[in-house]
Amino acid sequence: MNFILEDLEKNLWEWRGVFIAVPSVIFIVIALRFTGLLQSLELTALDQLFLLRPQEPIDNRIVIVEINEEDINNQKVWPISNAVMTKFLKNIKQQQPRAIGLDIYGNWPVNPRQTELVKLFEYMRNLIGIEKVLENTDSS
């Protein structure tokens, strides 16, 4: 029994540097991490990892449809009317996409007589739109 304790004490004494260094280094790294001093190093390493990864093939299942200046000039009106938007979305829906993302900023009112677009929004369950909510800044 005494031999086992002496052997254990000898091993602990030989490894004392490791038992002191490891917790110290862990504490220093965690402290640096919480202060944010390692963030630029981490982001640089992440950028390098993204640059070193192999080029991914183009996914043909994803299609991005944009409305650009030329389209607006051809329509000769902005914002796009609800009728044109309805026709546009119906044409896309005919292709049977799994999801449609709609990212168009519009702060114009919906014409009460143009309920077809509203019905289309309610009917198309695969339509995902964005919404920008502004806080009311009136102090009254």
Lookup: tokens for 130: 């964005």
* pLDDT level of residue 12 (50, 70, 90 thresholds): confident
Q: Is residue 64 part of a domain?
A: no
pLDDT per residue over 59-92, tens digit each?
A: 877 777 777 788 778 877 777 777 888 888 888 8
Instruction: Answer yes or no: do 74 and 48 share one domain.
Output: no
Q: Is the pLDDT of residue 48 over 70?
A: yes
pLDDT at 4: 80
pLDDT per residue over 84-127, tens digit each?
A: 888 888 888 888 888 888 877 666 666 666 678 778 878 888 88
Instruction: Answer yes or no: do 91 and 125 share one domain.
Output: yes
pLDDT at 46: 95
Instruction: Answer yes or no: do 21 and 47 share one domain.
Output: yes
Instruction: Answer yes or no: do 75 and 24 share one domain.
Output: no
**CA distances (Å), origin 60, targets 57, 63, 64, 96, 109:** 9, 7, 11, 15, 36
Q: Is residue 118 part of a domain?
A: yes
Q: Is residue 8 part of a domain?
A: yes
pLDDT at 21: 93
Instruction: Answer yes or no: do 6 and 47 share one domain.
Output: yes
Residue 105 domain boundaries: 69-129
Instruction: Answer yes or no: do 48 and 83 share one domain.
Output: no
Instruction: Answer yes or no: do 75 and 29 share one domain.
Output: no
Lookup: tokens for 120: 């289309």
Work out how many domains the chain is built from and give that number: 2
Q: Is residue 59 part of a domain?
A: no
pLDDT per residue over 112-123, tens digit each?
A: 666 787 788 788
Q: Is residue 134 part of a domain?
A: no
Q: Is residue 112 part of a domain?
A: yes
